[in-house]
Structure 1
């Protein structure tokens, strides 16, 4: 079933390249901002009462964590369409997280300053995101059969 192919074995140069790419990904300003948003979200969710934690906590943490994971996934590939798919998911989750911060404000669960810190982080993320998406190479697009991002 599997053929022994010595050309595809992992060697030291592959490991070095992998570690270099990993470092670059984690040092990217967008990833740094995503990690900051995760910490802010954790602090907010951690201070919610039990009912609101059950209602909002999981969704807020999921949205915050998707920012980092989808960025990492997009950076690991060259295909423009796949990068854009990840970018759209990041945008949607950032907007959802921001919306939930306003819901928490309406419910009076937190001091407005704490929620504003999260919103400011999301706004900073949005600005970095715009620059990042503009850097995608549209010539590296392979049609996936769905017709999205092909124009």
Structure 2
């Protein structure tokens, strides 16, 4: 049986795999959170959501070719990873006694970040649609540029 990541780029597979390692550790930490602490339960949900985004968004980006859409997915991944890093502070603030385990997550996210950089560098900058909002255009492309496809008569 083929796995979901069989059609991924090499870099995408590595990133997806590391995301799975992060999810696994987050799930273990989440299982240590007391059921009767509402604040920690809320943090748990946020952590799990952010962790799952690390694989979901890689899958989405690997399924498309357009640079602007890949970059949009990459921005969600970056936000989720950065949000995960600071969750240790939230756990400590609410006296979670096992927050020290979160250092493992931080180490894994640093490894993930390095893989992420390699992955994004492989995006095809020539396969794009102009992002008229100006956030996810390849270098040298402006949201005000004329779209060459506008001259194609349909």
TM superposition score category, shorter chain reference: 0.7 to 0.9
Taking the TM superposition and a 5 Å limit, the aligned residue runs for 1:100-139 are 100-111=87-98, 113-139=100-126
User: Does the CA-based 8 Å contact 2:26-2:51 persist in structure 1?
Assistant: yes
Q: 1:26 to 1:100 in 2, by over 3 A?
A: farther
Unaligned runs of 5+ in 2: 142-154
Q: Corresponding residue for 1:42?
A: 27
Unaligned runs of 5+ in 1: 1-18
What TM-score comes out, normalization by structure 1 length?
0.79
Taking the TM superposition and a 5 Å limit, the aligned residue runs for 1:17-36 are 19=2, 22-25=5-8, 28-36=13-21
CA RMSD of aligned residues (A): 2.3
- The structural deviation recorded for 1:23 is 1.6
User: Does the CA-based 8 Å contact 2:61-2:73 persist in structure 1?
Assistant: yes
- The structural deviation recorded for 1:147 is 2.4
User: Does the CA-based 8 Å contact 1:105-1:115 persist in structure 2?
Assistant: no
Cα separation, 2, equivalents of 1:100 and 1:21: 29
User: Does the CA-based 8 Å contact 1:45-1:53 persist in structure 2?
Assistant: no
Please identify which structure carries the higher helix content. 1
Q: 1:110 to 1:124 in 2, by over 3 A?
A: farther
Cα separation, 2, equivalents of 1:98 and 1:20: 29
Tell me the number of residue pairs that the alignment of Structure 1 and Structure 2 aligns.
Answer: 134
Taking the TM superposition and a 5 Å limit, the aligned residue runs for 1:78-89 are 78-89=65-76
User: Does the CA-based 8 Å contact 1:30-1:125 persist in structure 2?
Assistant: yes
User: Does the CA-based 8 Å contact 1:26-1:32 persist in structure 2?
Assistant: no
- The structural deviation recorded for 1:52 is 3.8
What TM-score comes out, normalization by structure 2 length?
0.77
Cα separation, 1, equivalents of 2:93 and 2:86: 11
- The structural deviation recorded for 1:20 is 7.8
